[in-house]
Chains A and B, each alone.
Chain A
Amino acid sequence: MDHMIFEIGTALLLVAIAALLANKFNFSIIPFLIILGMIVGPHAPQIGILDFRFIESAEFISLLGRIGVLFLLFYLGLEFSVGKLIRSGKSIVTGGSIYLLINFTGGLLYGYFAGFPLLEVLVIAGVITISSSAIVAKVLVDLRRTGNTETELILGIIMFEDIFLAVYLSVISGLILGGGTTLASSLLSILIALGYMLTFFIIARKATPLLNKMLKITSDEVFIIVVFAALFFVAGFSETIHVAEAIGALLLGLVFSETDQGERIEHLVVPFRDFFGAIFFFSFGLSIDPTTLLDAVWLALGAVVLTIIGNFVAGMIAGRKSGLSHKASANIGLTIVSRGEFSIIVANLGIAGGLMDILSPFSALYVLTLAILGPILTKESKHIFFLLNRIFKWVPAPRPKTK
Chain B
Amino acid sequence: MEMREVDLPGIGRKFEAITRRGDKVVLIVHDDGRREMHHYDDDDFDESISSVTFSDEEARQMAGILGGLVYKPKDLERIELALGDLVIEWVKIEADSLAANETISSLDIRNRYDISIIALLKVDKTKVLNPGPDTLIEKGDTIVFSGERQHVRAAGKALFLTEGGG
Binding site for B on A (CB under 8 A): 79, 84, 87-88, 133, 137, 140-141, 144-152, 155-156, 158-159, 324-325, 327-328, 399, 401-402
Contact = CB atoms under 8 A, between A and B. Distances in A.
Given A149-B45, A149-B46, A327-B46, A155 B38 contact: no
A147 B46 contact: no
A140 B30 CA distance: 12
B94 interface: no
B7 A141 contact: no
Given A149-B45, A149-B46, A325-B46, A144 B51 contact: yes
16 contacts: A79-B9, A144-B38, A144-B48, A144-B51, A146-B28, A146-B30, A147-B16, A147-B27, A148-B46, A148-B48, A149-B45, A151-B8, A152-B6, A152-B14, A158-B9, A402-B43
A98 B41 CA distance: 30
Interface in B32-76: 36, 38, 40, 43, 45-46, 48, 51
Interface residues of B, number: 21
Given A144-B36, A147-B26, A147-B51, A133 B10 contact: yes
A155 to B, nearest CB: 5
Contacts of A158: 9-10
A86 to B, nearest CB: 12
A146 B7 contact: no
B22 to A, nearest CB: 14
Which 8 A-B pairs rank lowest in CB-CB distance, beginning with the nearest? A147-B26, A147-B38, A137-B10, A328-B46, A146-B28, A144-B51, A159-B9, A155-B9
B51 A152 contact: no
A146 B28 CA distance: 7
B8 A152 contact: yes
A291 B36 CA distance: 46
Contacts of A150: 46
Contact of B14 (A147, A156, A325): A147
B28 A147 contact: yes
Given A133-B10, A147-B27, A155-B8, 17 more contacts: A79-B9, A79-B10, A84-B9, A88-B7, A145-B48, A146-B8, A146-B36, A147-B26, A147-B28, A147-B48, A149-B46, A150-B46, A151-B8, A152-B14, A155-B9, A158-B10, A399-B43
A267 B21 CA distance: 41
Contacts of B11: 137, 140-141, 146, 155
Contacts of B45: 149
A84 B11 CA distance: 13
Interface in B97-117: none
Nearest to A88: B7
A87 B8 CA distance: 12
Nearest to A328: B46
Contacts of A87: 7
A328 B48 CA distance: 12
Nearest to B46: A328
Contacts of B28: 146-147
B94 to A, nearest CB: 29
Contacts of A159: 9
Nearest to B53: A144
A88 B11 CA distance: 14
A73 to B, nearest CB: 15
A155 B10 contact: yes
Contacts of B48: 144-145, 147-148
B12 to A, nearest CB: 8
Nearest to B25: A147
Contacts of A155: 8-11
Contacts of B10: 79, 133, 137, 155, 158
Nearest to A151: B8
Contacts of B6: 152
Nearest to B34: A141
A325 B41 CA distance: 14
Contacts of A79: 9-10
Nearest to B12: A146
Contacts of A141: 11, 30
Contacts of B16: 147
B14 A146 contact: yes
Contacts of B38: 144, 147
